[in-house]
């Protein structure tokens, strides 16, 4: 009986912590935000322009890539395929991510100039993505169970978009990683109460400095799903900024996307019908 009790203790702790997580309204809000931002539709195919601004540059570094994601399980495992089409020197660069919840992600990068497929460390999700201010985790999302969340307040958040002032009634949530992380000590997220999309997120480092600030600039419904059309990530310490711009005319939810697109073989030669968009639009 005594042995049984001892063995049961860890399971009991896990059960209690899981129940506490789910009972926490802050966790629930972050979960909904995660679902709204990263799991809208069973799959998504779009084209994104990524503009990196930095001090001293005459014009931003511009990259365009096709972004295809497919959910294996809603709120769980996902697969991503990113295919770069601009500028010409990185044309055909491809990136596969199999996002897992409890284990490391599977990531492969193909660089056509050297014709190499590189295995990328799945642990380091917070490393910058293709020289931008966004990390891989910002693009593929972070599971709510990785942090302890609490609601700080509710407030009206305003942002200027296309010469318009947009106002969002938001929940302000503080999230602290359960396991200490290399870059982030905590984040504060402003979640829109209407769409549950995160409209602002501030990342703090271990020096308690804001090292990244995310803003959703423009949100529009596409196929009934509220979609972030324009967003930016500012790095105050780095003095850089990256803007993500979605090509609305080439954004499709719930299309037919085969599973084999997310295999290593697709890195070198992805199916043309999936990577070709209408360039004139």
Query: Contact residues for another protein (CB under 8 A)?
Result: 52, 54, 57, 61, 89, 109, 111, 113-114, 116, 118, 120-121, 124, 127-128, 130-132, 182, 207, 211, 235, 237-240
Distance, in Å, from the CA atom of 128 to the CA atom of 52, rounded to the nearest integer, reads: 12
Measured at the CA of 186, the angle between CA 134 and CA 22, to 5 degrees, comes to 100
CB nearer another protein, residue 109 or residue 151: 109
SS3 string of 15-73? Answer: HHHHHHHHHCHHHHHHHHHHHHHHCCCCEEEEEEEEEEEECCCCCCEEEEEEEEEEECC
Nearer to another protein, 55 or 256 (CB): 55
Q: Which is nearer to another protein, 16 or 118 (CB)?
A: 118
Nearer Cβ to another protein (138/144)? 138
- Min dist CB 111 to another protein, Å, is 5
Residue 156, judged by CB atoms within 10 A of its CB (0-12, 13-18, 19+), counts as exposed
**Cβ closer to another protein: 88 or 221?**
88
Residue linked to tokens 């539709």: 41
Least Cβ distance, residue 207 to another protein (angstroms): 7
Run of H or E including 175: strand 164-177
Nearest approach, Cβ of residue 210 and another protein (Å): 11
Q: How far is the CB of 170 from another protein (least distance, A)?
A: 27
Residue with tokens 């395929």: 81
The CB-of-212 to another protein minimum distance in angstroms stands at 10
């Amino acid at each position: 009986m005594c042995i049984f009790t001892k063995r049961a203790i860890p399971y009991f702790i896990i059960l209690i912590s899981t129940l506490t997580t789910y009972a926490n309204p802050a966790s629930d809000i972050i979960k909904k935000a995660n679902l709204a931002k990263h799991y809208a539709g069973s799959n998504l195919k779009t084209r994104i322009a990524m503009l990196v601004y930095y001090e001293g540059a005459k014009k931003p570094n511009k990259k365009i890539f096709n972004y295809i994601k497919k959910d294996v399980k809603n709120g769980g495992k996902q697969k991503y395929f990113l295919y770069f089409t601009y500028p010409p020197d990185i044309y055909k660069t491809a990136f596969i991510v199999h996002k897992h919840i409890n284990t490391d992600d599977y990531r492969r990068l193909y660089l056509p100039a050297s014709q190499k497929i590189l295995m990328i460390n799945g642990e380091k999700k917070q490393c910058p993505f293709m020289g931008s201010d966004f990390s891989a985790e910002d693009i593929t999302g972070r599971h709510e169970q990785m942090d302890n969340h609490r609601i700080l307040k509710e407030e009206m958040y305003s942002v200027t978009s296309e010469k318009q002032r947009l106002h969002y009634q938001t929940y302000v949530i503080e999230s602290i990683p359960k396991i200490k992380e290399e870059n982030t000590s905590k984040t504060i997220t402003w979640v829109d109460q209407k769409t549950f999309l995160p409209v602002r997120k501030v990342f703090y480092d271990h020096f308690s400095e804001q090292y990244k600030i995310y803003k959703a600039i423009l949100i529009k419904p596409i196929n009934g799903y509220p979609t972030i059309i324009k967003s930016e990530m500012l790095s105050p310490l780095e003095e850089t900024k990256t803007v993500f711009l979605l090509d609305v005319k080439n954004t499709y939810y719930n299309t037919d996307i085969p599973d084999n697109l997310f295999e290593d073989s697709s890195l070198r030669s992805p199916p043309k019908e999936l990577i070709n968009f209408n360039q004139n639009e």
